[in-house]
């Protein structure tokens, strides 16, 4: 039996004290004497409350809240109150301490934040709707104190940094939820560095091989990159010194996740991603001279290097909705390389790094107003009783990461909307009633339909009619969560009116059968007609989708109706004897034919891919790659339906996968490629699509392979052909 190493209590005590002192050092410039006492008390209470608890890694649990507090202070720029809350964030949920204890020692404000944090704990719930409801609760706390959500993001960041000891299934769930919700939320609140780290850490677990490969290549090219940055910035520094400007200038690599995104969206290799790093110039400038000084630096940079006119981004004149201010340009540097340059002031940089927290320091400007507007809209959405949690989550999520456009009213007032917003979205931005009655719009004095997509700089005049009312078709093109929420509410209200008539019809029918319309009879009817709610049942009765004559086929016993058995056609569901609640390991081997499974068409997994099983409603288990485009959403929303999956002994099965091949067009190139596939490797092809334009060859080849080893061998062989520039596996 293995021996458990003895715990060195003195060493652990020193480690805990070191973490606490680090936190104190981070707060030394802002903390008052009374706050220092409160912080010490919070530390002692948490230390006592968590004394017998350990994390999966084996370290004392108290290290976790202390490091969350450090993130809150050092990386988010919050104060001692937030640090106290971060230290105490798990005590009410995990220990004997109560909210009353917290309130007695630290006051109502701290107790309220801890209450908010306790309400939104327990991420992995049993059903998707509870999981979404949990996130909805998290956002409700925005209405009271935004620090709740900031501490929750810090908590998630520390968990992501220390997840190596967790089981693989839990790593996948947490990483997927982080990519799906927490990274976009950090982005929306302006925490760019935290957003990037959350994305990188999420990728580390969902696409570990790709993550390691890009990290290795970044490390290998670090020295050459540093030399290039020094060479590029030298003339800029000389000119800034001549102008007597106070500044900092440095180059930083792009995040692994953003590099991978570029590789995927542009179908290029790591070596072909030209902007692996960005140069940042931060100037020390008084607020009344900020704009002029930033443009002065811009003119210096563009005098030295030729700019790409399509890559100028001016977020100084019009900041992003989350408060981000900066001037971005891309210029042609030495040796024919494009380089992104970001220009901002010390104040702008603090807002870019510390996000929402910095707005308490700089309480002015359009950025602050737009954040307030966003928070107000979230509160409005959350107050809508008709908005179920999953709908809310989808609509909220869709607006988190979207780029923005700037459009104007006829009077010249600026409105910021998500990219791809329509004329109807704009109408709802003006007022709910304007949206309800909108029949069209004039964009730049030209008549357009409701679904017309707006562009930057458009001037929009809304046309209304009192006869117009919301239409279900609108949901097909509306973009903003505000507009979608309002339309859903109006449609539901209209549905209620129709359903009232349906209810009367059902009541009369039940009365004629001398039966009560009570909960039990309603449940039997809803089950028989497959209706999720009584509202849907009544609505379909009034619309004649449900024929009440069917009731003559029901049995009546003691005031109860018993529905006849229906023979539903369709695919069978999973045998519950094969997949049980605690079965988290599915093995593909000789037994696999006893379990209904199929390979997901969205990612076409093959033997050797890192995969997971997903229990569907009526198609058995679908097998997805962990880096499938849909994996993040499936695992974050429906994590309880995922089953751990691995390949074992396979029968000789061929799996369909796709390759995208580009190269220099040359006579006989297609023959060379097909010869490698069919001749050298004896593989079957399902199809190929080829084309050439201006001397560039592009082809898509659908091929049957046995496993990832065979696929990698094929990619290597095709890449070896001198005319070929890239071979990539098609993700979908």
Active site residues: 93-94
Burial classification of residue 445, based on how many CB atoms lie within 10 Å of its CB (0-12 exposed, 13-18 middle, 19 or more buried): exposed
Give just the sign of the alpha carbon dihedral 352, 354, 355, 359: negative
- How many residues are there in the chain? 732
The string of DSSP letters for 393-411 reads HHHHHHHHS--EEEEE-TT
The string of DSSP letters for 438-483 reads EEEEEETTEEE-TTPBP-TT-BEEEEE-TT----GGGGGT---HHH
Nearest to 730 by CA among 656, 668, 667: 656
Give just the sign of the alpha carbon dihedral 112, 115, 117, 119: negative
* CA distance linking residue 718 with residue 688, whole number of Å: 15
* CA distance linking residue 673 with residue 668, whole number of Å: 9
Q: Bridge partners of 281?
A: 249, 343
Crossing angle for the helix pair 168-177 and 147-161, to the nearest 10 degrees: 140
Burial classification of residue 327, based on how many CB atoms lie within 10 Å of its CB (0-12 exposed, 13-18 middle, 19 or more buried): buried
Angle, alpha carbons 164-167-168 (nearest 5°): 85
CB burial string 458-496: b at 16+ within 10 A, e below: bebbbbbeeeeebeeebeebbbbbbbbbbbbbbbeeebe
Q: Are 351 and 324 in contact (CB under 8 A)?
A: yes
Please, which contacts does 589-595 make with residues 24 or more away whose CB atoms are closer than 8 Å?
589/648, 589/649, 589/650, 590/649, 595/620, 595/621
Q: Are 287 and 298 in contact (CB under 8 A)?
A: no
C-beta neighbour count of 447 within 10 angstroms: 11
Contacts of 213 (CB under 8 A, 6+ apart): 270
Gyration radius from the chain CA atoms: 30
CA distances from 363 to 302, 319, 356, 372 (A): 33, 14, 11, 11
Three-state DSSP class for residue 704: strand
Structure-token match 């230390």, residue found: 47
């Amino acid at each position: 039996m293995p021996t458990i190493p003895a715990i060195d209590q003195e060493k652990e005590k020193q480690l805990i004290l070191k973490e606490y002192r680090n936190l104190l050092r981070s707060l030394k410039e802002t903390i008052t004497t009374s706050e220092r006492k409160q912080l010490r008390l919070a530390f002692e209470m948490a230390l006592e409350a968590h004394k017998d608890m350990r994390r999966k890694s084996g370290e004392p649990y108290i290290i976790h809240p202390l490091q969350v507090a450090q993130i809150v202070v050092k990386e988010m720029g919050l104060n001692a109150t937030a640090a106290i809350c971060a230290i105490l964030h798990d005590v009410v949920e995990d220990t004997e301490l109560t909210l009353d204890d917290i309130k007695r020692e630290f006051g109502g404000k701290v107790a309220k934040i801890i209450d908010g944090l306790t309400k939104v704990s327990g991420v992995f719930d049993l059903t998707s709707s509870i999981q979404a409801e949990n996130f909805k609760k998290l956002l409700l706390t925005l209405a009271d104190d935004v620090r709740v959500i900031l501490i929750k993001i810090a908590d998630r960041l520390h968990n992501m940094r220390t997840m190596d000891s967790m089981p693989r299934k839990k790593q996948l769930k947490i990483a997927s939820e982080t990519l799906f919700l927490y990274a976009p939320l950090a982005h929306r609140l302006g925490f760019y560095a935290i957003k990037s780290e959350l994305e990188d850490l999420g990728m580390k677990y969902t696409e570990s091989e790709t993550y390691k490969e890009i990290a290795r290549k970044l490390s290998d090219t670090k020295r050459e990159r540093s030399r290039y940055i020094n060479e590029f910035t030298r003339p800029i520094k000389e000119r800034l010194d001549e102008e007597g400007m106070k500044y900092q200038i440095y180059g930083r690599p792009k995040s692994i996740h953003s590099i991978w995104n570029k590789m995927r969206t542009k179908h290029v290799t790591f070596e072909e991603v030209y902007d692996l790093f960005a140069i940042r110039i931060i100037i020390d400038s008084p607020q009344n001279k900020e704009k002029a000084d930033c443009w002065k630096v811009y003119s210096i940079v563009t005098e030295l290097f030729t700019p790409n006119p399509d890559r100028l981004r001016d977020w100084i004149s019009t900041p992003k909705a989350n408060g981000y201010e900066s001037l971005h340009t891309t210029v042609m540097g030495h040796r024919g390389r494009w380089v992104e340059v970001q220009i901002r002031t010390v104040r702008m940089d603090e807002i870019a790094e510390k996000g929402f927290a910095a707005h308490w320091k700089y309480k002015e400007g359009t950025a602050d107003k737009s954040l307030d507007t966003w928070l107000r809209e979230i509160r409005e959405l959350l107050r809508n009783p008709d908005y179920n949690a999953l709908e809310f989550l989808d609509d909220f999520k869709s607006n988190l990461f979207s780029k923005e456009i700037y459009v104007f009213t006829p009077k010249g007032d600026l409105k910021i909307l998500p990219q791809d917003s329509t004329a109807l979205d704009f109408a709802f931005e003006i007022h709910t009633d304007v949206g309800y009655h909108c029949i069209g719009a004039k964009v730049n004095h030209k008549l357009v339909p409701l679904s017309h997509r707006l562009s930057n700089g458009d001037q929009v005049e809304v046309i209304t009619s009192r006869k117009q009312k919301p239409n279900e078709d609108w949901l097909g093109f509306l973009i903003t969560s505000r507009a979608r929420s309002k339309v859903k509410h109006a449609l539901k209200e209209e549905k209620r009116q129709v359903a009232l008539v349906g209810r009367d019809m059902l009541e009369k029918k039940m009365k004629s059968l001398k039966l009560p319309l009570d909960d039990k009879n309603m449940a039997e009817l809803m089950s028989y007609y497959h209706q999720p709610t009584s509202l849907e049942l009544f609505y379909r009765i009034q619309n004649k989708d449900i024929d009440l004559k069917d009731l003559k086929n029901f049995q009546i016993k003691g005031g109860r109706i018993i529905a006849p058995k229906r023979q539903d056609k369709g695919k069978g569901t999973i045998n519950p004897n094969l997949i049980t609640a605690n079965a988290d390991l599915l093995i593909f081997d000789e037994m696999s034919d006893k379990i209904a499974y199929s390979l997901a068409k969205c990612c076409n997994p093959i033997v050797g891919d890192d995969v997971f099983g997903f229990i569907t409603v009526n198609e058995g288990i679908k097998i997805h790659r962990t880096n499938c485009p849909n994996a993040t959403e499936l695992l974050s929303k429906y994590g309880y339906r995922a089953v751990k999956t691995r390949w074992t002994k396979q029968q000789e099965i061929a799996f369909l996968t796709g390759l995208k091949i580009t190269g220099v067009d040359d006579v006989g190139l297609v023959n060379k490629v097909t010869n490698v596939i069919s001749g050298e490797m004896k593989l079957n092809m399902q199809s190929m699509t080829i084309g050439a334009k201006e001397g560039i060859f592009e082809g898509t080849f659908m091929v049957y392979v046995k496993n990832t080893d065979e696929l990698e061998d094929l990619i290597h062989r095709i890449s070896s052909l001198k005319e070929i520039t890239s071979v990539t596996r098609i993700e979908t």
